[in-house]
Structure 1
Amino acid sequence: MPKKVDHQQRRTLIADALMRVAADQGLEAVSLRHVATAAGVSAGMVQHYFRTKDEMMAFALSVVRERSQIRVTEAVAGLGENPSPRLLLRTMIAALLPLDEHTRDDGRVALAFLAYTAVRPSAASRLREDTAQLTAFIAGVLPDGRGDAAATGLLALMEGLGVHLLGGQYTAEQALTALDAHLDLLFG
């Protein structure tokens, strides 16, 4: 009887390997061969699931996105019913920031993908959709009159803090202090 293969599990195994390669060696090191080696599979298997580097990158980003959504959902669920808008935003953003080793790996992949989309705009469509949805959500939570510009600023702060956390310029405590200071300005 033929062995039943879990294709989603294999794709995720390959995506995890891609993320390890990107986090450890940078995006330029991501190739079918390097990812296959990191996953412990043949290059042919990687090519079976992902025909191109773009396909691998898009899938890896979707894995990071899913992990981020789970972190945010779990963190927000811990707030109970009807948290204040400020606490809700702080909790969501803190869950998205690369504050520990596990989230740093995801953050490195997300940052690498951002750089990747800067030279391949066609690969950024999902990222644009996610950003637009997050901006609209934050704008709806901010106090009256703040709107999209303030939401965009808060997202830019989050991204900037993330880059500096990944580069080691800020500690988790410094990043959260800066986030709190900005939320204080927005919420008064």
Structure 2
Amino acid sequence: MPKRVDHEQRRAEIIVGLWAVINGRGIEGVTYQAVAQATGISVGRIQHYFASKDDLILAGCRAVVERASDRYANRAASLEPHEALRDLLAEPIPHTTSFRLGVAVWYAYLVRGGIDPAIGAIIAEFAQGTIKEAQTLLSAMGTPRDQVPREALRLVSLSNGLTQRVLIGAASAQEALEVLAAEIPVVRNAPTSPTLSPSPSRPKSR
């Protein structure tokens, strides 16, 4: 009997090969031939799943987002809000060699997103989703409502900056994680800023 092909698995294998090529050559170096060499899958078979190189590159970007989102969702389901926030912020920190390669691929997509509207839209949606998740968790932790947007932006930006420093070797993953961990208790007990408190004539938001 002919061997049955798991098409989703085959697509996943091709995308992993794509990421390997991006890590070694950048997105500009992606070709069907390079991906075929990285995967051991023929060019014709790759073209069967991805009609163009741009389709393949775009699918790779979506897969990065989906994998990161699924990883976080699976862990966060059993965590308290402050633990989930810490996990959300720590998610991009490259703490292993394989994870460093994945983050490097993501940053290649970030650069590409500046000139490719389709990739840029995926990245923007993911970035906004991260901010919204941080806001949800901060609210659940009891952070004053008027501080939630600012704190979410600050913490996610801190995470992004630390990720870059680890990626270029300017800080270790452990140092980055310790900085993030130290920020969470501060937020959990953040008082309402006097300059942003409601006036006496207005009821306070609950």
Q: What is the TM-score normalised by the length of structure 1? A: 0.85
How many residues align structurally? Answer: 184
> Which of structures 1 and 2 has the bigger CA Rg?
2
Letter in 2 for 1:177: E
Residue 54 in structure 1 maps to residue 41 in structure 2: no
Residue 87 (structure 2) pairs with residue 86 (structure 1): no
Stretches of 4+ aligned residues off by more than 4 angstroms? none
User: Equivalences for 1:22-37 in 2 at 5 Å?
Assistant: 22-37=22-37
Tell me the CA shift for residue 40 of structure 1.
Answer: 0.9
Cα offset, 1:71, TM superposition = 2.6
What is the rounded CA distance, in whole Å, between the counterparts of 2:108 and 2:23 in structure 1? 8
1:154 aligned to 2:150? Answer: no
Paired residue for 1:67? 67
Partner of 2:21: 21
Backbone CA RMSD of aligned residues: 2.1
5+ long unaligned stretches in structure 2: 191-206
Q: Is the 8 A contact 1:71 1:96 kept in 2?
A: no
CA drift at 1:78: 5.3
Offset, 1:120: 0.7
Partner letter of residue 150 of structure 1? E
**One-letter amino acid of the counterpart of residue 50, structure 1:** F
Q: Which secondary structure state, in structure 2, belongs to the residue aligned with residue 170 of structure 1?
A: coil
Q: Deviations over 1:120-167 (max 9, x none)?
A: 123222222222222122112221122323212222222222222222
- C-alpha change, 1:77 and 1:140, in structure 2 (3 Å) is closer
Q: Between the two proteins, what is the percent identity of the paired residues?
A: 31
Q: Is the 8 A contact 1:72 1:96 kept in 2?
A: no
Name the CA distance, whole Å, in 2 between partners of 1:46 and 1:162: 33
- Corresponding position of 1:123: 119
| Secondary structure of 2:91 counterpart | helix
Partner of 1:108: 104
The one-letter amino acid paired with 1:146 is Q
Q: Match of 2:7?
A: 7
Task: Provide TM-score, normalisation by structure 2.
Answer: 0.78
